Amino acid sequence: MSAKRPKVPSELRRRVLIEAGHRCAIPTCKTTPVEIAHIVPWSKVRKHEFKNLIALCPTCHARFDDPRGSIDRKAMRQYKANLNPLLSVSLRSREGQVDLLVAYQELRVTFAEWIPAEAQYAAAKSRRSSRVKEVADLRSLAIDKFSWALCAALDFQSAWKGSEASCLVGEILYHVGEWADEVHDASFPLSKEIARRDIAEEISEASAELHLLVCEELSM
Ligand SMILES: [Zn+2]
């Protein structure tokens, strides 16, 4: 019935183990021995890919696989991302990689300013007690930050042309942008429902995935 599951190739297995220092990837655990776990289950992806694999001890692995368990996929993605601080290893020796890294860092910095600026504007616009000037100032600040983030996203996409990371950035930009449009277009006062959306949280999974894609590309 189920297609035969091939073994994780030994080279790939080694990379995953080295990434976690041959210990359980959950930092408060770090136990041995370790197994190779799929973040998105193998039954769904039907392939072994570095970005989807993580080293776990049998206990953490079982807790993760248990659908009633306390470790969810989002948390596991975060653990995986934590294993990959931006690698600068031998970057200098590779032509063009510095540009990729710079584009990514610019993207992170500008989004980290844009999203809170929009959230602040949304919050002020949703309070009946806000003064017109305050709302207007926050609005122009948000627009300003948006234009920086947009430039960074476009630069990123041109540096990372045609890659999975580039598509993902498009999706993230679209997701945040759609909400920002809603905030800007709505009349005063903005509904609490729109104002309270936690956009940073909504894009956190995609951001962690982007981070992994970037780390993987730069460390290849
Ligand atoms: Zn563990």
Distance 2 CA to ligand 1 centre (A): 29
Distance 86 CA to ligand 1 centre (A): 23
User: Can you tell me the distance from the alpha carbon of 59 to that of 40, in angstroms, rounded to the nearest whole number?
Assistant: 18
User: Can you tell me the distance from the alpha carbon of 135 to that of 87, in angstroms, rounded to the nearest whole number?
Assistant: 41
Distance 96 CA to ligand 1 centre (A): 37
User: Can you tell me the distance from the alpha carbon of 179 to that of 55, in angstroms, rounded to the nearest whole number?
Assistant: 37
Distance 161 CA to ligand 1 centre (A): 38
pLDDT in tens, the chain (220 residues): 455 789 999 999 998 999 899 999 999 999 999 999 999 999 999 999 888 999 999 999 999 999 888 898 888 988 888 887 654 444 454 667 777 887 898 899 899 999 999 999 999 999 999 999 999 999 999 999 999 999 999 999 999 998 999 999 999 999 999 999 999 999 999 999 999 999 999 999 899 999 988 888 877 5
pLDDT recorded at residue 112 = 92
**Mean pLDDT over all residues of the chain?**
89
Tokens 């392939």 correspond to 47
CA–CA distances in Å: residue 215 to residues 7, 76, 89: 24, 17, 11
Distance 73 CA to ligand 1 centre (A): 15
Distance 66 CA to ligand 1 centre (A): 14
User: Can you tell me the distance from the alpha carbon of 144 to that of 156, in angstroms, rounded to the nearest whole number?
Assistant: 19
Contacts of 1 (CB under 8 A, 6+ apart): none
pLDDT recorded at residue 3 = 59
Are 117 and 138 within 8 A, CB to CB?
yes
Query: Which residues pair with residue 91 across a beta bridge?
Result: none
- Tokens standing for residue 184: 């800007």
User: Can you tell me the distance from the alpha carbon of 76 to that of 13, in angstroms, rounded to the nearest whole number?
Assistant: 18
Q: Which amino acid is at 16?
A: V
Q: Which residues of 134-169 are buried (b: 16+ CB within 10 A; e: fewer)?
A: ebeebbebbeebbebbeebbebbbebbeebebbebb
pLDDT recorded at residue 88 = 44
Give me the half-sphere count of Cα atoms (radius 13 Å) on the Cβ side of residue 47.
Answer: 3
pLDDT recorded at residue 89 = 47
Going from N- to C-terminal start, the domains of the chain cover 10-82, 91-219
Distance 53 CA to ligand 1 centre (A): 14
Distance 26 CA to ligand 1 centre (A): 6
Tokens 């992806």 correspond to 45
User: Can you tell me the distance from the alpha carbon of 102 to that of 154, in angstroms, rounded to the nearest whole number?
Assistant: 13
Q: Is the dihedral of CA 142, 144, 145, 146 positive or negative?
A: positive
User: Can you tell me the distance from the alpha carbon of 118 to that of 177, in angstroms, rounded to the nearest whole number?
Assistant: 10
Detail the DSSP E strand segments found in 46-90. Answer: 53-56
